Structure 1
Amino acid sequence: MSVAVFTAGPLQGPALPHKRVFALSELEAMELTGFQAVFLIGSPKLDEESSLTRETIHRLWQYVRQGGVLYAEMIQAFDFAGSRLFGWKQDFPKTRRTMEKLRVTEAGGPAGSLLEWDGAMAYGFPIHAEVLLEHGVFKETHKAERAHGERVYPALLARSLGEGTSVYSAFSLFGSTEPAAFRPNGVWKDVLKTLSERTGVSFGEPEPVIRPSGGTDPDEAVKACMSWFLDSGILPERDGSAGIYENVHSVTARLMADRRPDCHAHTALFFYLYGKALGEKAWEEAAHGLLQSLFEGGYQDMEPDSATYGFFKWYDFPEEKPDQIFTDDNAWAAFVLLYLYRQTGREEYLVRGLAVTEAMLATQRPDGLRANMLLGDVLRKEGRESAVPLDASWNPHFESIAHAAFVQAYRVTGEQVYLDTAVKGTITLVENADKLAFMYSRTSGLGRFLLPLSYLSSHDSTGTIGEGLRKVTEELFSRQHASGAIEEADNPDPERFGQEDAGVYLYNGEGIADQLYTNNFLLMNAWEAWKATGDSAYKVKYEELREFLCRIQIASGDARFNGGWMRAFDLNRWEYFGNNGDTGWGPYCMESGWTQAMIGTGLLLGLLDESVFE
């Protein structure tokens, strides 16, 4: 006997076997006795309610009592008749999931395990039913004993009724609009297996839309990465003239049309190296198109008399001059512009790149450090000198790329002040290791620190930087997983859950690798450490990390994901999964510059056997 599925919209969740599909509107006139199970899939849309007539509810009651299996999802259950049949009384109209997760109960499978989904949910309470899944705000990554500070609501319930079984889902499962969001896949399989065993009806399995490719060839990984840029929609025009979008959003999986200078710089660097590897000039022109879109878009203040002269806006800020001036965003723009000037000789890159480094130098503290963010209005009111006494960030996330940008300026101009500032700042960090501050993890900050440490170690006669390099390397690679990845460790603020700029794990040992802040930059930085020091140990670490990143590159039939990398990867489950506590750049974010372009750059530098400082 088959399964009759009555649905208000397309089925996009787990694949149901042996099904016949009908519109939900056909249910009232349909004879049900010939079906082993009846599935009712309500609309996942918040502005659409899916309800049943009293007569239909009575018919379904008899169908279940006589041995049928009824599964209902997002069917309105405010009334007594519907709620007593489904075993679930709805309190309020449905809403959209935000930070909530599903938790498996003792009856539902691997107890305490946390799951994610996409779409609608509704609040209610059970009536003579067994709760298999519950939803609430669970801060943990993999398992939770209870929710934190908020009520837990039933999400998946089952009740025996006569000879049959009624199952109700208070969230979008088969009607989910984003099937890629069912994570972790293995736990979902266990839950659906429990349902199948409970009802005697196959509930199918959620087929992962996103899979690690398993490849190990860096050349193929680079080509797939470029395909992601061309096919995902992240690049509005192939010649770069319309810039690059920032990311595929972690929660909505939508292309975010924000344009940021740092993402443009990263992507321009990748495009240039890609063209160099292929011997195709068109990619250098596409890199130029990306940068030109920033120049023409007024992202950089090029008014010589302005106190913010040289600095870039953080994003497409609606005023003429920059407001929030972050160190890392501006330093990356300078780093890439000056590198590309040395490679291409384009004079505009020199002028604009040095304008940034000169502005940074003028706002640098005497100890070689700087505030992580300056305010444009303050600089224009009080002058650049007002930035000098500001508190230092003490964070390698910001400081390291500033020092690397000064190295590029030194390589271009030969002016000792740039090298001296980089050396001074790096020594200050090394000598004050107890003051270092970190944003997401200690591992991410140390991975960033590696870039200037390795280059500057040979420019410090005191040996301080060399000793810092040894200590950072030792600590960083003590966190290396058997897969080659650096596992996230030492979260500076686990309680930051639910805000921007949070980690995708909470505590050490969760087995999460971060491709937005750690392994992405570390690939290039480990390569540069090998090129700067000649120590083959760095080359080995580079190769191990390269293999890991190639293996986890996404293979998917969905162009938004295929060929790219998401932020969080679960090293133990071997799938993309992580803590969802970062509301801005969460575990499934796909950042165009910081992740895709930087991993692609790290791969290409190895294939070309080149250094960005040569």
Structure 2
Amino acid sequence: MPASSVALIGPPGPATAFAAAGLTFVRYDEPPADLAAYRAVVVLAGHYPEPARFDTSALAEYVRGGGTAYVEFAVDDGFLPAGPVRDAHIERIFTREPLTGIEPLSILDEHLSRAQEVTPPPSATELLTYGSVAGTHKAVFGPPAETFPALLDIPVGTGRLLYATTALSHHLQGRYKPVRRWTRLLQLITAELTGTDAPPDLELFTEPHVWVATGEPAKVVVRTTTQPPPATNRDVPLELVEVAPGRYESGLTVLPDGVHTFAVGEHTTTITVGPRPERYRRMIDRGIAWFDKAGMFYDAPDGSKGVAEGFSNEIGFDGTLPFRPVPRGDCYTQTAHAFRRYADLTADPRGHTIAENLMRHVVEEEQLTDRNNLYGAFEPRGARTDLTATNNLFADDGGWIALFALISGDLEAGLRGVESLIRTANTELGLQVDPWRTPSTLMVKGWDEFGRSPIEDGLDLTSHWQSSALCSYLYAYGVTGEPSYLEIAERGLDHMASHHPRARLETSRTCEAGRFLLPLAGGYFYTRKPLYLQTMLDLADYLKSRQGPDGGFAEWDGKCPPSNEAYGVDEASIFQANGDPVTDQLYGTPFAAWALPIVHQITGEPVFEELAHGVLDYLSRIQIDDPDDEQLDGTWQRAFDFDAWEYFGSNADIGWGPYCVETGWSVAPSLIAAMQYLQREPFFPEPGTNPAPVAAVRAEFESIRKGEPAPPTFRRRADGRIVRVQGGVRAVLGDLTAGGEPAWARNDPANSYEIYVRGADNHLHHTYLDDRVGQGRWQQLGDLELADDPVVAFNPGADAIEVYVLGADRRIHHCSMIDVRGGHTPWEPVGTLHFTGSPAVLYDETLGSVRLVANDTAGQDRRTRKVNRWHLPWQDYSHWITA
């Protein structure tokens, strides 16, 4: 019977995966009447992620009679293996038995799949297994203790059943990785079903891949398990020589500009040859376009609503990445700088508009300006709020934000960020203490204690945490000429460089090397210290030793799981062992690419230009090029396997795995790097002489340290947000939209200001400004509908804030704040009269009570006062004559 006589039962989508694997079939939505007419039967999961119920009576008879069938993720009345359906959270599929072309313990990533946890029949052979296994391509520690089958080979009568506990055919739609291994797996299943040999596993590519610069050589490479057919280029044969077992190469050839196609049998590959500036410009244009195409600017393409963080790592059942809307200040500022540089490159003013809007968000809404020990730091995960909701104040995020604020021209905001970082640094070494710090740690320790705190766990040598702060000090020195900024940067750089290469590794040694270059470049630019140049040259030697054939820097010495049990439970590197051909586009590649052109410009050393060309070429080659994919076209994911030539890596990181995408840290720095190369503008400014802003900002910190009072004022700005001005510094108070002007009063017993405003919803909202812990959150006070703005007064006789409003019923209503933090009495009407507006209110020290004056709807002047918790009846004072 011909191999084409295979009945495939299932929808067209999953069937595509088997068609791509070379299976020829007749597709049915429902089982055909006569299965015996077919050489094999394939039943696909048509309702994944839910299992389909299937009547297997005819199939069971077919298999018992000698037929071969493949069935996946289905339930029936007893023929198929059964077990509970569960989510495979961190488990991955790996091979148990050797399969042709796939070695035992090879990993197949399936992205949060659903599977049946079945117990295999005694006669079954377990071909694929689910388990929590550490490794990139191989399960390096062997099978874990707890597993369950993924694919079983079960003899039934004289026939054979291949049963998959999950939908293996879902690998195309679900973007399972690595793609070649999944394709090979289905080719092997096809061969088992049809009794034929699987096609030779042949891979054809050029080296370098995709593109090569004008005048630089390339070669054709074939990897195969058998002797390959001849290679041709436009029908001209190429000689292939076996240079290693299973690897065949042509000689290096310099090709003319244009697109070149090479063929080996039915396989083809292309390479483009062209000028480096054109390629980099193409990369930049596509990367910038990605922000719009992928919807990163929320609902406003001008950046006025902010920019999203990107996409999370977990690929969904439909193959899409989850949108990650977190408004990170570091992503805002890095994206702002990328668009600012793009506007300069293209003379398109839109980039400047986006940059200004994003920076306005960060400066006005994310810098902490409450007068306490958090002053000047940046809330890195959105607009500032009360202390209990403030995120960890990461020193690396704060350093990047301060640096880009300075670059953008927001000098005072940037200097506040710098001064905040200096006050959380070790005084002797100039390096950040406890860089993953909580607000409570800062509040309790205070600035002086932080400066005396020892640096533990080698964090002083970790460029992952220290480099951005050092860069911000150096840039601050450049724009102001303030020598103390250079001095503290030198202390940190001297310490780190003199101990190099000893360092604690946050993600990998390769990432640490790439991140250390920029502050060293700044230090060398301003001081010309030989130590800094020699350290950069040492880093260049290291990066060259890790550089792959396409220019990327392989990850090395990482924070990798030491066992299967440690897989997927903590932050980790995106490779497992030294030698894994994986690069990191989140923490490593973009920062090296950004720094290397700057280092070359400052030092003139050719090695840095060579490395810059290599890594920028690499970024241009691995940029995702799929116009039909709005999520990913034009961007980069975190882990790229430059041997398999696809985005793939160890999925052990609990937060930022191999498939995540970041607007900042990844996309923006990659674009900044390419524009830095093309525009060739100096990065660090020549030292200026502008001491006035430094003195003004330091005076703010000194005033806070001394506990000097700074009475605030509050007002409603045009967009309805409430703005505080305190000590000359403006701050936007939360996201409340006000319908009127705020009222406030000093609450001395609580050491705070109490602020009230009529919201756009015409309800009263309250927050506070505490002398020590700062701003509170807005809270609505009851459901009373207001017709006017509130008035407030402090009542020292009762230690209470008295609040009065005009209700929609035209009566005046009152409540008191009687608790230290926000405990308000219920609303009560003050009498039964109706008024035209809110009353005037003051505390009468002679009478020891709060007095009110209001105009009723008849135009009469009415007055009353509060005695204890009651208000006297309104009195008519319309006969009084006011001078």
Q: TM-score, normalised by structure 2?
A: 0.62
Q: What is aligned with 1:233?
A: 295
Give the CA deviation at 1:250: 1.7
Give the CA deviation at 1:41: 2.7
Given that 2:91 and 2:130 are in contact with CA atoms closer than 8 Å, whether structure 1 keeps it comes out as: no
Secondary structure at 1:290 match in 2:
helix
Q: C-alpha deviations, 1:486-520, integer Å up to 9, x for none? A: 11111255436423431111221111111111111
Given that 1:323 and 1:377 are in contact with CA atoms closer than 8 Å, whether structure 2 keeps it comes out as: no
Give the CA deviation at 1:165: 3.5
RMSD over aligned Cα atoms: 2.8
Aligned counterparts of 2:384 and 2:672: Cα–Cα separation in 1: 31
Task: Name the % identity.
Answer: 26
Q: What is aligned with 1:363?
A: 424
Q: C-alpha deviations, 1:263-306, integer Å up to 9, x for none? A: 1111111111111110111111111222223345x322123x22
Q: What is aligned with 1:71?
A: 70
Change (3 A) 1:334 1:12: farther
Secondary structure at 1:308 match in 2:
coil
Aligned counterparts of 2:10 and 2:423: Cα–Cα separation in 1: 64
Aligned counterparts of 1:390 and 1:317: Cα–Cα separation in 2: 29
Tell me which protein shows more helix as a share of its residues.
1
Change (3 A) 1:509 1:175: closer
Given that 1:500 and 1:585 are in contact with CA atoms closer than 8 Å, whether structure 2 keeps it comes out as: no
Give the CA deviation at 1:564: 1.0
Does the alignment pair 1:248 with 2:314?
no
Give the CA deviation at 1:389: 2.7
Aligned counterparts of 2:190 and 2:103: Cα–Cα separation in 1: 17
Does the alignment pair 1:262 with 2:330?
yes
Give the CA deviation at 1:22: 4.8
Q: C-alpha deviations, 1:172-193, integer Å up to 9, x for none? A: 22245x7353211222232222
2:191 aligned to which of 190, 194, 197 = 197
- Residue range with higher mean Cα deviation, 427-436 or 532-541: 427-436
Aligned counterparts of 1:293 and 1:37: Cα–Cα separation in 2: 62
- Residue range with higher mean Cα deviation, 421-430 or 455-464: 455-464
Q: C-alpha deviations, 1:331-358, integer Å up to 9, x for none? A: 11111111121xxxxxxx2221111011
Give the CA deviation at 1:204: 11
Change (3 A) 1:256 1:535: same
Does the alignment pair 1:605 with 2:676?
yes
Change (3 A) 1:458 1:244: closer
Q: What is aligned with 2:42?
A: 39
- Residue range with higher mean Cα deviation, 354-363 or 181-190: 181-190
Secondary structure at 2:646 match in 1:
coil
Given that 1:43 and 1:175 are in contact with CA atoms closer than 8 Å, whether structure 2 keeps it comes out as: no
Change (3 A) 1:5 1:428: same
Aligned counterparts of 1:145 and 1:397: Cα–Cα separation in 2: 28
Aligned counterparts of 1:205 and 1:567: Cα–Cα separation in 2: 31
Q: C-alpha deviations, 1:569-600, integer Å up to 9, x for none? A: 11222221111110110011111111111111
Does the alignment pair 1:306 with 2:372?
yes
Give the CA deviation at 1:427: 0.3
Give the CA deviation at 1:199: 1.0
Given that 1:51 and 1:75 are in contact with CA atoms closer than 8 Å, whether structure 2 keeps it comes out as: yes
Change (3 A) 1:70 1:57: same
Q: C-alpha deviations, 1:227-274, integer Å up to 9, x for none? A: 221111233131112212212222222111112111111111111111
Given that 1:523 and 1:599 are in contact with CA atoms closer than 8 Å, whether structure 2 keeps it comes out as: yes
Secondary structure at 2:79 match in 1:
helix
Change (3 A) 1:199 1:509: same
Give the CA deviation at 1:146: 5.8
- Structural mapping, 1:10-159, within 5 Å: 11=14, 14-16=17-19, 18-19=24-25, 21-23=27-29, 26-27=30-31, 30-42=33-45, 48-52=50-54, 56-66=55-65, 68-76=67-75, 81-83=78-80, 89-103=81-95, 105-107=97-99, 109-112=101-104, 113-118=106-111, 119-127=113-121, 128-144=123-139, 147=142, 149-159=144-154
Larger Rg: 2
Q: What is aligned with 2:629?
A: 558
Given that 1:66 and 1:162 are in contact with CA atoms closer than 8 Å, whether structure 2 keeps it comes out as: yes
Given that 2:560 and 2:577 are in contact with CA atoms closer than 8 Å, whether structure 1 keeps it comes out as: no
1:593 aligned to which of 655, 661, 664 = 664
Given that 2:134 and 2:140 are in contact with CA atoms closer than 8 Å, whether structure 1 keeps it comes out as: no
Q: What is aligned with 2:511?
A: 444
Give the CA deviation at 1:91: 3.3
Does the alignment pair 1:508 with 2:578?
yes
How many equivalent pairs are there?
586
Q: What is aligned with 2:776?
A: none
Give the CA deviation at 1:74: 0.8
- Structural mapping, 1:434-583, within 5 Å: 435-460=502-527, 463-495=530-562, 497-556=567-626, 557-583=628-654
Secondary structure at 2:598 match in 1:
helix
Amino acid at match of 2:75: Q
Give the gaps of 5 or more residues in structure 1.
84-88, 342-348
Change (3 A) 1:44 1:299: farther
Amino acid at match of 2:86: K
Q: C-alpha deviations, 1:460-498, integer Å up to 9, x for none? A: 465322332232222232211222111111125543642
- Structural mapping, 1:184-223, within 5 Å: 184-200=178-194, 214-215=210-211, 217-223=279-285
Amino acid at match of 2:313: S
Greater relative contact order (Cα < 8 A, sep 6+)? 1
Given that 1:554 and 1:562 are in contact with CA atoms closer than 8 Å, whether structure 2 keeps it comes out as: yes
Does the alignment pair 1:288 with 2:351?
no
Change (3 A) 1:462 1:300: closer
Give the CA deviation at 1:416: 0.8
Secondary structure at 1:126 match in 2:
coil
Change (3 A) 1:461 1:197: closer
Give the gaps of 5 or more residues in structure 2.
213-278, 316-320, 686-883
